[in-house]
Amino acid sequence: MAPLRHCWSECCGATMLLFVLLVIFPSCLLSVKVSPLIEKVSDHKDFKKLLRTRNNVLVLYSKSAAAAERQLKLLSDVSQAVKGIATISWVDCGDTESRKLCKKVKVNPSSKENGLEVFHYKDGVFHTEYNRPETFKSIVAFLKDPEGAPLWEENPDAKDIVHIYSEKDFRRLLKKEDRPMLVMFYAPWCGVCKRMMPAYQQAASDLKGSYVLAGMNVYSAEFERIKEEYNVKGYPTICYFEKGKFMHHFENYGASAEDIGEWLRDPQPPQPQAPEVPWAEEDSLVHHLTDSDFDDFLKDHPSVLVMFHAPWCGHCKKMKPEFEKAAEELSASNDVHGVLAAVDATVHRGLAERFHVTGFPTVKYFEDGEEKYTLPHLRTQKKIVEWLMNPEAPPPPEPSWEEKQTSVLHLVGEDFRESLKKKKHALVMFYAPWCPHCKNAIPDFTAAADTFKEDRKIAYAAVDCTKEKNQDLCKQEGVEGYPTFNYYNYGKFAEKYNGERGGAGFASFMRSLREKDHGKVKRKEEL
């Protein structure tokens, strides 16, 4: 019996050892707790189904479970932040079952030094290899907008910028920092910000140790208190601090790195600008007309080109010197008999209303006292003079956004709410036709609408706030600037859209909502 008992004891010991090797040891290899939001895939059919049913997928391929451990810990946190927006999946190519899948999709993480490859799939097909920094913030930003520009802090040339991510970090920095400091409050889509960033980051490197140059993306609504406190009305807004106390703004947005350094060595508040002399009071060959003398002037001059303008209008200011030079050339010419005139439409509103002037500048041609043409293409001295030498009908105007055949719904006050009640998800752009930022956004917004044109539950809509019927509506919906984007759920306001103002951003926002819907349906089916 003793030998039998001894055998039995050895068998039990061997069984226990096998249990340890098969169960406990693998768990040691992968000690990190993987989020249930990360979908582990090993079968090729399951993988194809994943790409077919999800629009925004990041896949981690690893040569083994151990190689993936650190990355899975990071991606577990990321998966929580992008829940409903993107899907994260893991394929362990070292696993026998998954090896076939990796071979079929031609992925070999073993060839990489770290044993990992990270690929992104968009709309069911391969999009790009993820090659941005492996940080929580960068991966989340990428998945929220896979085609968007990298974050400022991802630029290696911006390593000496202090990047601020929260109001708490901002307050802490002000409290602890004794060195003079510049803080650039910016928006990621802002063109002026992007043009200034290279000089700003070079200055940060040049002045490192003596001064602090910081950057903070305050575009989202969570930073409203900071924007109000530091009078952030546009981007960028750059504030100068000494020992945590705000002193004044830095307003040289075309400054070089040397200019910034020179200013910091003797920081002076912005100088008040001398009041601008009204155009009508300048010595000019352009005739400035009023409500009272307009008709008499047209009687005395059979050929008149009139520029209706506003003092604050940037396009008018740009056109003004061209108009002046054209007036001088016409005055010296014996071949052209037309004259140039201007009307300040903000003062002489009767004339602006009479001739239906809704944007600036508006150029109209009058012949024998009667309005004949509106000429939006005349903006330079050369074109103005050439046209007056042979006045003829202008080319037909380009149709307005509303007149074009697109998938965007153009709404007016009385049908706004009723139209949106029929749509589960609606992104609405409140705009003004003259607004440059609106004009830049229109092509991408239209393209996003075309992407979802077959989905009856989704709408991209637009409201022209300059129309009289829409003015009360725009106030009611909280429109304070153009463009403003609001998201509505079955006609009820849900949130302001603060994402990327591009086709990818507009489309990704809607895809994230649709993925949330699919997720809810799936959970119901599982129940």
Q: What is the DSSP string of 262-282?
A: HHHHS--PPPPPPPPPPGGGS
Per-residue model confidence (pLDDT) at position 506: 93
pLDDT surpasses 60 at 6: no
Alpha helices in 231-346 (DSSP H): 257-265, 294-300, 314-332
Active site residues: 190, 193, 313, 316
Q: Which H or E element spans position 61?
A: strand 56-62
How do residues 82-107 score in pLDDT, each as one tens digit?
A: 988 899 999 999 998 899 999 999 99
Residue 45 scores a pLDDT above 60: yes
The strands making up 425-431's β-sheet, listed across from edge to edge, are 409-410, 458-464, 425-431, 484-489, 492-496
The span from the CA of 61 to the CA of 107, in Å, is 8
CA atoms within 13 A on the CB side of 383: 11
pLDDT at 272: 76
- Cis before 483 (ω within 30): yes
Closest C-alpha among 237, 241, 230 to residue 181: 241
Distance CA(59)–CA(105), nearest Å, equals 12
Best-predicted range by mean pLDDT (304-308, 387-391, 439-443): 304-308
Q: What is the pLDDT of residue 400?
A: 87
Give the list of residues 6+ apart from residue 277 with CB closer than 8 angstroms, or none: none
**Distance, CA of 423 to CA of 461 (rounded, Å):** 11
Q: How sure is the predictor about 66, in pLDDT bands with cuts at 50, 70 and 90? A: very high
pLDDT value, residue 68: 93
- pLDDT tens column, 237-284: 999 999 999 999 999 988 999 999 999 999 999 877 667 788 988 888
Predicted confidence at residue 27, as pLDDT, reads 39
pLDDT for position 7: 45
